[in-house]
Structure 1
């Protein structure tokens, strides 16, 4: 499984997730998946889908993905196809408005925590992308951030705002990080869990009632870019999406100004 994940260019976290789910399945039945009948697998998945401890059905979905991957790896495509299909999540992302963002960024006591939350929003970064940033990936003079080998094994360059440059200079002068832009407690790499904790603690100090998390900052970034008039193809590239369809969901959230219907001849001859 590790070899196949590497060959397909998938992340180590994907491998760990698949292996963990298949291991739980094997421990439950004390048999390998290919030795279990289709009826037994379905009963197990039904129980998992109804588990009140997992209201988002994440355990169920990850188990299906893991088993599907396992069966295909063994060349047992019929078994993979027989697994239940998963409908896409139709929930719209929750967005923080600009006033809420200002309140959030002012909440943390530590400069480092204020900077890291602001940077995630200002560049639309994923949590994993933030912790993987090295000092050399941030060019304060050119005002760019180089995100290396992120999801889908793609590099991309995103702009760094003037305000963020000022904040980062203060942070670098005060903290003196080495290798990584944001070091953990032991001087090594920060963790996504640590970032999520910073977000939760900051939210506690605000009046924000929305159910948001760290990734909501990236959702807010994409939505606000569309509201500011940036075209969706550019937003797709800035987010590092592989498909435009993934980016399209933000069109359902963005409050964009609607143009008054008019005749194209009026604009063609300058009479509008």
Structure 2
């Protein structure tokens, strides 16, 4: 894989793929090649199909993982080996439709109350108040903060798209206090060494805070982004504005939050409540 891996890494980089995507695609190709133990140029479409069935039947991975593998293999054959027809008609497993986990507003407050470190507070507040991805918050620069306009610039978010999102007054005040103490120069949240704060460090902040609150939901730091969108929807924000704030290219991606927003069901009375009330009158 040495030469082919290098060619793939260079091609992905030239096409502007993020470091995380490059790393993921390379790993999928390594596993694919290791499974067959042959030069990938000698494999046919049926070999690809056999590998994907192995992932589903023996490894019992999620369909989303298999879809990711299909994308990596398709890219590898099309852009690196110049054999695009190899994967031309290969079907993808149907992706399972899962609703996002959402925290209530009170649960968000409980989590924030458990974070004492000023830097950690600023990070978690920004993620929730602006609907940021972890990869976006760690790559914020001091120059991305527009305090006068109460706006936050997110550069090269998912899909390499820039966007503006909300900068809350509470988060801005916390940021100002943080900047006075930590005095960041380039990256808004600097790591212990050179460069920006790590994704894993942010995930750990959230994990520890959730554990201390006793919240039983399977929540992660990304749950704050889901909660941001859902809470805006519940308070009457137009879904197209939410789409812009989240940086979604397709409105269908944003519409998933209509299935978890409580405003859709709060006016509906459960039949159990209705018959029990009748029984007591």
Match of 2:195, SS?
Answer: coil
- Count how many residue pairs are aligned between Structure 1 and Structure 2: 259
Output aligned runs, 1:166-185, within 5 Å: 166-185=173-192
Contact 1:68 1:83 survives alignment (8 Å):
no
- Matched with 1:18 is 25
Match of 1:205, SS?
Answer: helix
Match of 2:176, SS?
Answer: helix
CA shift, 1:51, in A, is: 4.8
Normalised TM-score (structure 1): 0.86
What is the aligned counterpart of 1:250 among 248, 257, 265? 257
Normalised TM-score (structure 2): 0.84
**Contiguous gaps of at least 5 residues in structure 2:** 1-7, 268-281
The 1:59–1:251 alpha-carbon spacing in structure 2 relative to 1, beyond 3 Å, is closer
- Matched with 2:137 is 130
- Matched with 1:63 is 69
Contact 2:152 2:167 survives alignment (8 Å):
yes
CA shift, 1:11, in A, is: 2.2
CA shift, 1:217, in A, is: 0.5
What is the aligned counterpart of 1:104 among 100, 108, 111? 111
Which range moved further: 182-191 or 117-126? 182-191
Superimposed CA distance per residue, residues 124-169 of structure 1 (whole angstroms, 9 cap, x where no aligned partner): 0011110110111112232211111111221111121111111111
The 1:257–1:249 alpha-carbon spacing in structure 2 relative to 1, beyond 3 Å, is closer
Q: 2: distance between equivalents of 1:17 and 1:182?
A: 25
Match of 1:158, SS?
Answer: strand
Output aligned runs, 1:212-251, within 5 Å: 212-251=219-258
Q: 1: distance between equivalents of 2:166 and 2:118?
A: 22
CA shift, 1:238, in A, is: 0.5
1:148 aligns with 2:173: no
What is the aligned counterpart of 2:88 among 58, 81, 84? 81
CA shift, 1:8, in A, is: 4.5
Q: 2: distance between equivalents of 1:113 and 1:242?
A: 30
RMSD, aligned α-carbons:
2.3
Q: 2: distance between equivalents of 1:257 and 1:92?
A: 15
Contact 2:64 2:95 survives alignment (8 Å):
no
- Matched with 2:5 is none
1:45 aligns with 2:75: no
Match of 2:156, SS?
Answer: coil
Match of 2:77, SS?
Answer: helix
The 1:32–1:139 alpha-carbon spacing in structure 2 relative to 1, beyond 3 Å, is same
**Contiguous gaps of at least 5 residues in structure 1:** 261-272
Contact 2:35 2:51 survives alignment (8 Å):
no
Contact 2:155 2:163 survives alignment (8 Å):
yes
